[in-house]
């Protein structure tokens, strides 16, 4: 445990939430990907189902973990964080925000009267992607605040919107 605390600059026990929650989310993602592959290969309801799910799940987990650790190393000097555990919190915020904004865009497109089976795919998907953008911006700051990284995400928002020519929103 001390090795984990030292590696991620964890000074208080509540900071341990972020590495453990991150590991849990990576495990869940690996399991979900393994199950999707299982269904694509039509291996569900066979004797190989759980062997494949566990084997592929752990392989995907290992690959995802290596990828995220590589990302941490690349972004360590680019992101202004005081302690390394904050990078885990930032990654979690990006993941949760992206997933939830993608899920919320579906019901919102239907709410405004655009259904995938009644309108052209070009119109439906363009509207859905355009809806994802403002949902994402709002949720990013909200989840940043929820995970204790409000300042980072507020500055991230301002910088991103200025680059997109929407900097006048903050004047």
User: Quick one: 68 and 89 in the same domain?
Assistant: no
Q: How many domains does the chain fold into?
A: 2
User: Quick one: 73 and 89 in the same domain?
Assistant: no
Nearest residue to 136 via CA among 111, 161, 115: 161
Residue 171 lies in a domain: no
pLDDT in tens, the chain (171 residues): 778 777 777 888 888 888 899 999 999 999 999 989 888 888 777 777 888 889 999 999 999 999 998 998 888 888 888 888 888 899 999 999 999 998 898 888 888 888 888 888 788 888 888 888 888 989 999 999 999 899 999 988 888 888 887 767 766
User: Quick one: 88 and 157 in the same domain?
Assistant: yes
Of 78, 101, 136, which one is at a domain's C-terminal end? 78
Q: How far is CA 68 from the centre of its chain?
A: 12
Residue 109 lies in a domain: yes
User: Quick one: 131 and 92 in the same domain?
Assistant: yes
- Are 87 and 76 in contact by the 8 Å Cβ rule? The answer is yes
Of 31, 50, 78, which one is at a domain's C-terminal end? 78
Half-sphere exposure of 30 (CA within 13 A, CB side): 23
User: What is the phi-psi region of residue 113: left when phi exceeds 0, alpha when psi lies from -120 to 50, beta otherwise?
Assistant: left
Residue 15 lies in a domain: yes
Gap between the terminal Cα atoms of the chain: 46
Segments forming the whole domain that contains residue 97: 82-166
User: Quick one: 96 and 147 in the same domain?
Assistant: yes
**Which residues are CB-neighbours of 158 under 8 A, at least 6 positions away?**
167, 170
User: Quick one: 89 and 70 in the same domain?
Assistant: no
**C-alpha dist (Å) from residue 109 to 28, 33, 123:** 28, 26, 10
């Amino acid at each position: 445990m001390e090795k984990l605390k030292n590696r991620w600059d964890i000074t208080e026990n509540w900071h341990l939430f972020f590495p453990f929650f991150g590991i849990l989310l990576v495990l869940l993602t690996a399991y979900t990907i393994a199950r999707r592959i299982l269904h694509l290969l039509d291996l569900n309801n066979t004797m190989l189902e759980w062997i494949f799910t566990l084997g592929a799940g752990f392989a995907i987990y290992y690959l995802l973990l290596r990828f995220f650790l590589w990302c941490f190393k690349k972004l360590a000097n680019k992101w202004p964080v005081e302690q390394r555990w904050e990078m885990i919190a930032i990654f979690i915020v990006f993941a949760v925000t992206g997933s939830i904004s993608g899920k919320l865009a579906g019901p919102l497109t239907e709410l405004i009267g655009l259904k995938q089976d009644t309108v052209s795919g070009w119109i439906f998907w363009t509207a859905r992607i355009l809806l994802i953008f403002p949902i994402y911006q709002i949720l990013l700051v909200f989840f940043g605040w929820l995970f204790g990284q409000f300042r980072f995400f507020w500055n991230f928002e301002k910088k991103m919107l200025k680059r997109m020519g929407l900097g006048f929103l903050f004047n």
